[in-house]
Amino acid sequence: MNDAAANARPAVLAFDVYGTLVDPLRVWTRLQEYAPDRALKISELWRQKQLEYSFRLTVMEQYQEFEWVTARALEYALAATDTALGATQVAAVLAQYDDLEPFPDVVPGLQALSGLGLQMVVFSNGSPRMLNAVLASSGLTGYFAEVVSVHDVREFKPSPRVYRHLLSRVGRSGREVLLVSSNPFDVIGSQAAGVPAAWVNRSGGQFDPIAAPPRRVVRSLGKLAEYLTGR
Ligand code: LAC
């Protein structure tokens, strides 16, 4: 893509959810009640295994809903840290996945982005039920015209099929859409499938060196709004 195309204002912004709009590591607050000495370790391992299982199931062509993947990843994280929780506690921890907090820049950022007149959609590995629940509990539902789930194609990010599904759902070509994600694997997958991406790098994290870093790197959604308005 040449610079003019890369810098053109997109017609659609497609937002990743977990790690971009809401913080999945916040599950540790509930875990803290049950396993205070290792709550953060469990939540990090949980997230890591959740993604690993989604990648592996896609490569094996053995899709399962993200809810199932999330439950199996928690099972692993608890066993790996020698944490024994009862069925009610496990259910309470899993339920917290429907009740995650937005990052502090998300609401002001979405407000600023809403003023730009672009279509805004959600695009996530989450099942439609999970996405509707987490968007409602975090108060974000109203910002988005559509909720696009990979569930429709029964593969997870970063399969190119899911990015093509996004394009077909919004009825646009790749260069008219901008993926907004904090997850480097998502940014790389999107760009590989011909959909430009902006990387929301809140913490100054590292990009994966298996692809060139994106030119659009922002610290917050507010900075993305400034970038898109050329400020
Ligand atoms: C999602 C994962 C990648 O929301 O965070 O799709």
The pLDDT > 70 percentage for the chain reads: 96
**Ligand 1 pocket member 16 (CB < 6 A):** yes
Per-residue CA distances from 42 to 35, 102, 112, 134 (Å) = 9, 21, 35, 21
- Residue 38: CB within 6 Å of ligand 1? no
Q: What is the pLDDT of residue 7?
A: 54
Cβ-contact 95, 137 below 8 angstroms:
no
Q: For residue range 200-217, list pLDDT tens digits in order.
A: 999 999 999 999 988 899
- Best mutation site among 18, 69, 208 for ligand 1 pocket (most ligand atoms within 8 Å of CB): 18
- The pLDDT of 176-190, averaged and rounded, is 98
92 pLDDT band, cuts 50/70/90, is: very high
Q: Which atom of ligand 1 is nearest to the CA of 20?
A: 5
The residue with tokens 């803290």 is 32
| 155 pocket-lining for ligand 1 (C-beta < 6 Å) | no
- State the pLDDT at residue 25: 83
d(CA 140, CA 126): 15
C-beta 69 within 6 A of ligand 1: no
Catalytic residue among 3, 16, 82, 105: 16
Ligand 1 atom with the smallest distance to the CA of 54 is 3
Is the per-residue pLDDT at 160 higher than 70?
yes
The token pair that represents 72 in the structure block: 């199996």
Neighbours of 206 (CB within 10 A): 9
Name the pTM for this structure.
0.94
Query: What's the average model confidence in pLDDT over 84-106?
Result: 95
Query: Which residue out of 130, 181, 199, 208 has the highest number of ligand 1 atoms within 8 Å of its CB and is therefore the one to mutate?
Result: 181
What CA–CA distance (Å, rounded) separates 94 from 29? 12
Tokens of 188: 């790389």
Q: Is 23 in the pocket of ligand 1 (CB under 6 A)?
A: no
Please tell me whether residue 26 adopts helix, strand or coil conformation. helix
Catalytic residue list contains 105: no
